[in-house]
Amino acid sequence: MLLFVNCCISQRETESRTLKICRAFLDRYAQSHPEEEIAVEDLRERGIPNFDRNLLDERDLLMQKERFEEPIYDMARRFHDADRILVGAPYWDLLFPAELRAYIEHVSANGLCYHYEPDGCHGDCRAKKLVYITSGGGFEEKPCVPAEYWRQLCTIFGIPEFDYVFAEGVDVSPEMEEQSMRQAIQKAEELTVEM
């Protein structure tokens, strides 16, 4: 199962550039993997609860009892079980929308998606690859902060392969947008081959 984490929150709604690149990826992926299920985690209007002290206590208690079937672990369970993961989110303030950060807090579930041993953290997610897709108004900075962030999360979660697509400069000019989107869509489609 491929899990698409859709955080393409956009004033352009369905015309979101980020979503357009994700769609190109998913269409090509569906063509080349017709037998595979594609599940969607839609974060665009979700209102994911942020963790405060009480919610953390509640989750820790469930973790100690290994009650990972409880609703608080729903997103983490789906993330853990996915064979491949696509995450799409626009480039906001050098990172991405807050809703995706809230999602990451939920999937960073100790005892389910990773665990600790004396030598450190070990990832337990099933996915063999995660691809991150974004689009930004300006040019890509190196290192690309959201891509590095996801690369390190993949290490924690035990996901061995990571790649990303950054459509840069899409607010610079219509010409730049067109060229950048074309390149981003091409790279996204190519990535489905190695997925």
Which residues of this protein are in contact with ligand FMN, per CB under 6 A? 8, 10, 12, 16-19, 90-94, 135-138, 170-171
Q: Quick one: which of 122, 191, 138, 126 has its CA closest to 162?
A: 191
Strand partners, 160: none
Q: Could you say which DSSP state residue 142 is in?
A: S
Q: Which is nearer to ligand FMN, 180 or 192 (CB)?
A: 180
Q: Least distance from C-beta 3 to ligand FMN, angstroms?
A: 20
* Cα–Cα distances in angstroms (integers) from residue 104 to residues 2, 25, 125, in the given order: 18, 22, 14
Identify any residues that bridge with 121 across adjacent strands, giving them in sequence order.
116
Phi, psi of 15 (to 5 degrees): -90, 10
Pick the closest to residue 178 from 30, 23, 20 (CA basis): 20
Question: Please, what is the minimum distance in Å from the beta carbon of residue 150 to ligand FMN?
Answer: 16
Nearest to 68 by CA among 121, 76, 3: 76
SS3 85: strand
The minimum distance between CB 55 and ligand FMN, in angstroms, equals 26
CB nearer to ligand FMN: pick between 156 and 181: 181
Min dist CB 87 to ligand FMN, Å, is 13
In whole angstroms, how close is the CB of 121 to ligand FMN at the nearest point? 30
